[in-house]
Amino acid sequence: METAVKISRRAMLGRSAALLASIAILPILMPSKPAVAGSAAKEDFNYQDQPRNGKSCTSCSAFTPDGTGNGTCRIVAGTVKPTGWCMAYSERN
Ligand code: SF4
């Protein structure tokens, strides 16, 4: 036994508009791309776990917190500390 479902043009347009609105805001709700970790050796950039002249990874544009209290860097490979510093430091705007 089949049951016919009638839907008005107005209801269908309303659902279509809601669907389009949902698709439009999807990129806003999606998390951003994961940070790309760098591949340079820490030694090559004189990385240290301590700040230098008041500057540290936490204020560097290459630093991304990883949720563990440390982070990754787009320049050097591996985990870096928020308190770290290297010669590629670039102040975050
Ligand atoms: S200071 Fe150096 S190690 Fe730290 S985030 Fe910036 S580029 Fe990476």
Q: pLDDT (tens digit, 9 = 90+) per residue, 10-60?
A: 877 877 777 677 666 555 555 555 667 899 999 999 999 999 999 999 999
- Tell me the mean pLDDT in the region 54-68: 97
Q: Which atom in ligand 1 lies closest to the alpha carbon of residue 45?
A: 2
Nearest C-alpha neighbor of 61 from the set 16, 92, 30: 92
Cβ-contact 61, 90 below 8 angstroms: yes
pLDDT on residue 30: 57
Q: Which of 50, 57, 72, 85 to mutate to test the pocket of ligand 1 (most atoms within 8 A of CB)?
A: 57
- Tell me the mean pLDDT in the region 57-72: 97
User: What pLDDT band is residue 77 in, cutting at 50, 70 and 90?
Assistant: very high
pLDDT on residue 91: 98
